[in-house]
């Protein structure tokens, strides 16, 4: 079973990259199930109903998010309408939405997805390690195929979670930093791992934002309104080959495709 995980989709350029490049990726790799982190899909910060519906029409089956999930306040009112839209499972009890889901592929194979947020250099949240462990027993009764999006700043925290869950989940895939790492691997227990799946959006930028704005912010320390950049638009992510019987990952391959201007 081939599972495509798309790195953080940023703004209109990222949505365009998905619309134009995703069909080719699905064909080339024989993708059975598509997951994408969509917390930056609306103008670079947050999600709206319109942007979510647009991405659904592109063929994405399930969405994860992270610390920007509430940046567009309307998300609070519609997140419960989408059972395939997750927010981090280790957010406080009482938050809208859900942090994990089990969705079937077109062939009827169930895939579980868990969305977690890191705590190092991030907003306060419950322990992602303990929350993940608490969810696994119930999820593995439904399917051996479990994909974890670890939305975190610190590489050490992501690596530690990968090691902690090795052999218990199919993949631990990092998001949030918008810089695709080259450390994709299959851990000893059969769990696929990468520290960051990358960014789907404009790469002539600083993590998706107009570079001059970010440089000015670093030079002066003054606040400014960030705008999504435009050039060098790419779709980044990973394809994970998962054995549907055991849930073990057989391979992980990075995807990095440039959109023709």
C-alpha span between 171 and 173 (Å, rounded): 6
**Cα–Cα distance, 244 to 47 (Å, whole number):** 31
Distance of CA 241 to the CA centre of its chain: 17
203 is catalytic: no
What is the C-alpha separation between 259 and 17, in angstroms, rounded? 6
Would you call 129 helix, strand, or coil by DSSP? Answer: helix
Kindly provide the b/e burial profile for residues 9-25, where b requires at least 16 CB atoms within 10 angstroms of the residue's own CB.
bbbbbbbbbbbebbeeb
- How far out from the chain centre does Cα 147 lie? 10
The CA distance from 176 to 115, in Å, is 12
Phi, psi of 115 (to 5 degrees): -105, 125
DSSP output for 134-148: HHHHHHHHH-S-EEE
Which member of 61, 68, 178, 203 is catalytic?
68
Q: Are 180 and 173 in contact (CB under 8 A)?
A: no
Maximal C-alpha separation, the chain: 55
HSE-up (13 A, CA, CB side) for residue 66 = 26
Q: Which residues are catalytic?
A: 68
């Amino acid at each position: 079973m081939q599972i495509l995980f798309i790195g953080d989709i940023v703004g209109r350029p990222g949505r365009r990259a998905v619309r134009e490049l995703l069909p080719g990726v699905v064909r080339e790799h024989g993708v059975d199930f598509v997951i994408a982190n969509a917390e930056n899909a609306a103008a670079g910060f947050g999600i709206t109903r319109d942007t979510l519906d647009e991405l659904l029409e592109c063929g994405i089956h399930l969405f994860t998010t992270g610390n920007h999930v509430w940046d567009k306040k309307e998300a609070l009112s519609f997140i419960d309408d989408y059972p395939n839209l997750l927010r981090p499972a280790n957010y406080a009890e009482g938050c809208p939405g859900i942090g994990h889901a089990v969705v079937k592929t077109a062939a009827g194979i169930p895939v579980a997805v868990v969305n977690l947020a890191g705590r190092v250099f991030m907003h306060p949240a419950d322990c992602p390690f303990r929350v993940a462990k608490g969810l696994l027993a119930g999820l593995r009764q439904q399917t051996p195929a479990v994909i974890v999006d670890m939305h975190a700043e610190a590489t050490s925290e992501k690596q530690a979670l990968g090691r902690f869950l090795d052999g218990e989940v199919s993949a631990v895939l990092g998001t949030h930093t918008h810089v695709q790492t080259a450390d994709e691997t299959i851990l000893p227990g059969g769990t696929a791992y990468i520290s960051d799946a990358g960014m789907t959006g404009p790469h002539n930028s600083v993590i998706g934002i107009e570079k001059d704005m970010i440089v000015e912010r670093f030079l002066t320390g003054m606040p400014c309104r960030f705008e999504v950049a435009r050039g060098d638009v790419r779709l980044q992510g990973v394809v994970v080959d998962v054995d549907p019987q055991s849930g073990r990952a057989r391979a992980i391959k990075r995807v990095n495709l440039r959109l023709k201007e």
